[in-house]
Amino acid sequence: MPSDTNPRSVILTGDRTTGPLHLGHYVGSLRNRVALQHEHEQYLLLADTQALTDNAHDPEKVQRNVVEVTLDYLAVGIDPTISTICVQSALPALAELTLLYLNFVTVARLERNPTIKDEIQARGFGRDIPAGFLCYPVAQAADITGFKATLVPVGEDQMPLIEQTNQIVRRLNRQTGRLVLPEARALIPDIGRLPGVDGKAKMSKSQGNAIPLSATDNEIEDAVHRMYTDPDHLRVSDPGQVEGNIIFVYLDAFDEDREAVADLKSHYRRGGLGDMVLKRRLTSILQALVAPIRESRLSLAKDRDFIMDILQAGAARGRKITEATKLKLMEALGTFRFDGES
């Protein structure tokens, strides 16, 4: 876990609800969150509204995965009594903040955002970018500031989103003459992104190269079995390449016995260590990791009311906080309000 965290920061993190989570999420974020929740005030946003920015044609999928991702959270050890799990669409203040912030950001600035540029390319939008997609960094700024988050765990590639948020924060603080919103700091995980089982840079459900947190023992065995290793390591006795070898990337990520992994690496380099030994080791480590998560998921999934209660309670807590931020900001901007209660 990264070490540069102040005591009791407010953390906002979460996931787009487009599919169940997988081992890439586990290594990159879930594991950290389970640890961070004990030291900080942590909010987990189920970003269904953001997921719609490129899934507007399939809102049912987005909604179904609100439940799936919640199951993943609980199964890995997120404790809903200390972390708050919020569905984004249940928090109207975030939509209101988004609309307000859109007035403080130019279209040209959004188009220059490197993260957005990359993602537009990756999705093949061309000129047909949905306006909501172009605007989503502003919606993220609303999410982060709505919870007054000061610490946001993100990958290195998402730094521009934090910078966009802080630009809006500084602009609003300058205009109101008060520190009405805090700036946020990125929390970059120690471990980089987990590659897919096919060796591609990113594990992703849509690429078919992911091991989901609900994977069975057989599925895990199959996935590890299909992993490429060093293509020049033809016989057990040949010296093998460790760098870029996907099995070792996974062992580095999941094998807690660092010393044993170091020994295996030396052995592999000088020859005499077969891929099957490594694959068996990785398989049993992953099976041991996933089995309790999968079982927990299965048993939680049977009690839908329990899940709904957690989401309802999280929505209530999230509403209170984001609504308060909105009102404080509106007041600082010199606007009054009508709550519509009469």
Residues that bind a second copy (CB under 8 A): 48-49, 52-54, 56-57, 59-60, 62-63, 87, 89-93, 95-96, 98-100, 102-110, 127-135, 138-139, 175, 311-313, 315-316, 318-319, 330, 333-342
Q: How far is the CB of 104 from a second copy (least distance, A)?
A: 6
Is the Cβ of residue 261 or residue 327 nearer to a second copy in the bound state? 327
Q: How far is the CB of 248 from a second copy (least distance, A)?
A: 41
Residue 340, phi-psi category: left (phi > 0), alpha (psi -120 to 50), beta (remainder)? left
Query: Cα separation of 271 and 265, whole Å?
Result: 10
Write down the residue that tokens 């909105």 correspond to: 326
**Are 10 and 149 a contacting pair, CB within 8 Å?**
yes
Q: How far is the CB of 298 from a second copy (least distance, A)?
A: 22
Is the Cβ of residue 58 or residue 156 nearer to a second copy in the bound state? 58
Q: How far is the CB of 296 from a second copy (least distance, A)?
A: 23
Is the Cβ of residue 190 or residue 341 nearer to a second copy in the bound state? 341
Please choose, from the candidates 180, 154, 41, the residue with its C-alpha nearest in 3D space to the C-alpha of residue 101. Answer: 180
Is the Cβ of residue 128 or residue 256 nearer to a second copy in the bound state? 128
Is the Cβ of residue 231 or residue 334 nearer to a second copy in the bound state? 334
**Are 91 and 319 a contacting pair, CB within 8 Å?**
yes
Tokens representing 304 are 């839908």
Angle at 166 between CA 164 and CA 169, to 5 degrees: 115
Which SS3 state, helix, strand or coil, does residue 152 take? strand
Is the Cβ of residue 130 or residue 155 nearer to a second copy in the bound state? 130
Query: Cα separation of 199 and 8, whole Å?
Result: 38
Q: How far is the CB of 138 from a second copy (least distance, A)?
A: 7
Please choose, from the candidates 168, 184, 147, 162, the residue with its C-alpha nearest in 3D space to the C-alpha of residue 43. Answer: 147
Q: How far is the CB of 180 from a second copy (least distance, A)?
A: 13
Query: Cα separation of 94 and 184, whole Å?
Result: 17
CB atoms closer than 10 angstroms to residue 74: 21
**Which residues are CB-contacts of 259 (< 8 A; sequence separation ≥ 6)?**
none
Is the Cβ of residue 135 or residue 187 nearer to a second copy in the bound state? 135
Q: How far is the CB of 109 from a second copy (least distance, A)?
A: 8
